[in-house]
A and B are shown apart, each in its own frame.
Chain A
Amino acid sequence: MDEEKPTSLFARRLLVVTVTLTALWLILPLLVIVPISFSGENSFAFPPRTWTLQRYVDLAQPMWIGALINSLVIASLVAVGASFLGTLTSFAITRSTSRLIVIVRALVLAPQVVPIIIVGLGIYLVFLRLDLNGSYVGFVLAHTVLALPFVVIPVAATLQTFDRDLERASASLGAGPIATFIQVTFPIIRPALLSGTFLAFLSSFDELVLALFLQSPSLVTLPVLLYRRMTDTIDPTVAAVATIQLLFVTTCMIIALFLQRRKDSNDQAPAAET
């Protein structure tokens, strides 16, 4: 890479410009919401002319707190359920010798390709019969189906490259199947499982389409409430919620990246010769 041709300098500058523009294109609309959340006007006018913290004070209303708690509870249960089921499914997909397993894989990953509105409608109609609309159970079941691929994709990928000799070695050294899973297999799939669980949590936390079908006056999640306050009343409190969410997700991402980098630098520690 030392002998770069002069043209590659131009190419590299072009790359920098393109990447920067793309990043701004993606990020600016998100950032616009931040100043609006401090706007003194009762609208989404940008840029704001007066400033206030009133939006954040308004968040203390039971309506917002309730929706937030609903979303957190549902997303947490979904994260737990999806990581558990997703891990089992990943083992089945990667280790079963049955030919039918192809079908299981397709079914599990289907929510990623089937239009969400169709999934929503289907679940809504089934839940009408089962009387699950507007219930925690209904939300958790529906969101778990959607969240499963977020766990299955990384965990199955890790298992695919997993050296089965590690499990054989563990057995030969005296560890039974359960001890082997706890001490060897699980620690190795843990990073993939954690990132999958995190994504499963987020996928439920900001899921809107299914939630619109499943909501009831007594059970409203945060995205549903945000959507309603925007479409029904143009409530700038939404901007405050959005700002907080943005802050929260960014923090999580930065922590995740930081952890990842520390792990990578460990991985690259030099091998020593005798």
Chain B
Amino acid sequence: MAENPGQNAAEVRFAGVTKTFNTGLTAISKLDLDIRAGEFLTLLGPSGSGKTTALNLLAGFQAPTTGQILVDGNDISGLPPHKRNIGVVFQHYALFPHMTVRENVSYPLKQRRVGKAEMARQVDDALRMVSLQAYGDRLPRQLSGGQQQRVAVARAIVFRPRLLLMDEPLGALDRKLREAVQLELKRIHRDLGATIVFVTHDQDEALVMSDRIAIFDAGKIQQIGTAEELYDRPATQFVAQFLGESNIFTGSLRRHGDTCSIDSPDGVIRSGTVADTLAGDDAAIVVRPERCRLFERGKAPDDWNSVDAWVSDIVYLGALRKVLLTLASGETAVVICQPDVEIPAGPEVTLGFPVSAARTVTAQWN
């Protein structure tokens, strides 16, 4: 984040925003979201979860059915997109094909009637920021995909917007290039200090880049927080399954003061926590695969949760190994372990994990 966020960065608030299309489809329902000045916020979710609609509403490409969108406290609902002063980077670049790189990048300055000399200076700065100084006279189609996306970024930041929106901007790039551009975007975010709202369905991308992540599903935010918060303390089964891998046990809940347990088909699973928001008796307990260990059948520590399991496969991932298990109930489970950890001779084993690693979440997510 910039030294003094707020100066170059806008603060955004969605207040009870609903968007229903003519077709009757509700893309977003009663969305409340506060985006802090200068933060890199990622909207993460499966396709059709409403994250892109949220972005389009903010950019002004669509109008909310009800609710307000405030930027720095001002309702911008009545402003057309060209008066919002928000930079947008599109998934498929949306570079003007008949203009050179320089003409593309000077476009927003031309609309603002910036003087010639000043324009040249700012365009140079923006092109330098994305390392494309030498490509000013090329046409977009003469550039590679990664270069085109960098031009799109330069064009969106050259007029120093205080809010920058990116809609799956790396979706069309191959993996290696994507990682390079991710780091470059983080650096640009630091240099620019602007608030960035980034849409993606790629959880790794979200984890690498974001200050905070908002997880969308079915038009609602399921949970918002830092990557760490979401990964370690998922609030719902959906979040636990969407972000990273999880072993999940479902059943009816029993509360024991500050702790709880559930009666799952694979036995009683104890958890160190009760989710405050938990309503009803249907709950799930999730545990991350790297917090699990494998033991010879019946040899798990007494104060751990233990479940009978059968090894169905072992996958070598280079730095790690992934053991795929089948449980007595027919459910599957995964254990991820370091290569130096010994895996007991199977196939009959016991899956064990500390009670403190088991987290209670809401079972239904809609």
Contact with B along A167-191 (1 / 0, CB 8 A): 0111111111001100110011000
Docked-complex contact B82 and A175, CB < 8 angstroms = yes
Given A172-B88, A173-B159, A176-B80, also A163-B94 (CB < 8 A): yes
Tell yes or no: A272 within 8 A of B by CB: yes
Docked-complex contact B96 and A172, CB < 8 angstroms = no
Docked-complex contact B86 and A163, CB < 8 angstroms = no
- Interface hits, B84-105 → A, CB 8 Å: 84-88, 90, 92, 94-98
Please give, as numbers and ranges, the residues of chain A lying within 8 Å of B142 by CB-CB distance.
269-272
Please give, as numbers and ranges, the residues of chain A lying within 8 Å of B147 by CB-CB distance.
274
Docked-complex contact B98 and A187, CB < 8 angstroms = yes
Docked-complex contact A174 and B111, CB < 8 angstroms = yes
Docked-complex contact A172 and B82, CB < 8 angstroms = yes
Docked-complex contact B143 and A169, CB < 8 angstroms = no
Given A270-B142, A272-B138, A272-B143, also A171-B80 (CB < 8 A): yes
A171 to B94, CA, bound (A): 12
Residue of B nearest to A167 (CB): B94
Residue of B nearest to A179 (CB): B111
Docked-complex contact B144 and A271, CB < 8 angstroms = yes
Please give, as numbers and ranges, the residues of chain B lying within 8 Å of A166 by CB-CB distance.
94, 96
A272 to B139, CA, bound (A): 11
Docked-complex contact A173 and B144, CB < 8 angstroms = no
Docked-complex contact B94 and A165, CB < 8 angstroms = yes
- Interface hits, B143-182 → A, CB 8 Å: 143-144, 146-147, 155-156, 159
Expressed in whole angstroms, the minimum distance between the Cβ of A189 and any Cβ of chain B is 11
A264 to B215, CA, bound (A): 46
A188 to B140, CA, bound (A): 14
Tell yes or no: B112 within 8 A of A by CB: yes
Docked-complex contact A172 and B111, CB < 8 angstroms = no
Tell yes or no: A273 within 8 A of B by CB: yes
Tell yes or no: B272 within 8 A of A by CB: no
Tell yes or no: B316 within 8 A of A by CB: no
Tell yes or no: A267 within 8 A of B by CB: yes
Please give, as numbers and ranges, the residues of chain A lying within 8 Å of B111 by CB-CB distance.
173-175, 179
Please give, as numbers and ranges, the residues of chain B lying within 8 Å of A171 by CB-CB distance.
60-61, 80-82
Given A173-B111, A187-B98, A188-B97, also A168-B90 (CB < 8 A): yes
Residue of A nearest to B112 (CB): A174
Docked-complex contact B90 and A165, CB < 8 angstroms = yes
Kindly name the residue among B60, B82, B131, B155 whose own CB sees the greatest number of chain A CB atoms within 10 A. Answer: B82
Tell yes or no: B285 within 8 A of A by CB: no
Please give, as numbers and ranges, the residues of chain A lying within 8 Å of B60 by CB-CB distance.
171-172
Tell yes or no: B216 within 8 A of A by CB: no
Docked-complex contact B88 and A168, CB < 8 angstroms = yes
Docked-complex contact B143 and A172, CB < 8 angstroms = no
Expressed in whole angstroms, the minimum distance between the Cβ of B146 and any Cβ of chain A is 8
Please give, as numbers and ranges, the residues of chain B lying within 8 Å of A274 by CB-CB distance.
131, 144, 146-147
- Interface hits, B187-230 → A, CB 8 Å: none
Please give, as numbers and ranges, the residues of chain A lying within 8 Å of B138 by CB-CB distance.
272
Please give, as numbers and ranges, the residues of chain A lying within 8 Å of B146 by CB-CB distance.
274
Expressed in whole angstroms, the minimum distance between the Cβ of A246 and any Cβ of chain B is 35
Please give, as numbers and ranges, the residues of chain A lying within 8 Å of B144 by CB-CB distance.
271-274
Given A169-B88, A179-B111, also A174-B82 (CB < 8 A): yes
Given A163-B92, A188-B98, also A267-B141 (CB < 8 A): yes
A179 to B110, CA, bound (A): 11
A272 to B85, CA, bound (A): 32
Tell yes or no: B107 within 8 A of A by CB: yes
Given contact pairs A166-B94, A169-B96, A271-B143, enumerate 5 new A-B contacts (beta carbons under 8 Å).
Answer: A174-B85, A175-B107, A187-B98, A188-B97, A188-B98
Chain B interface (Cβ < 8 Å from any Cβ of A): 22, 59-61, 80-88, 90, 92, 94-98, 107-108, 111-112, 131, 135, 138-139, 141-144, 146-147, 155-156, 159
6 contacts between A and B (CB under 8 A): A171-B82, A173-B87, A174-B83, A174-B111, A267-B141, A272-B138
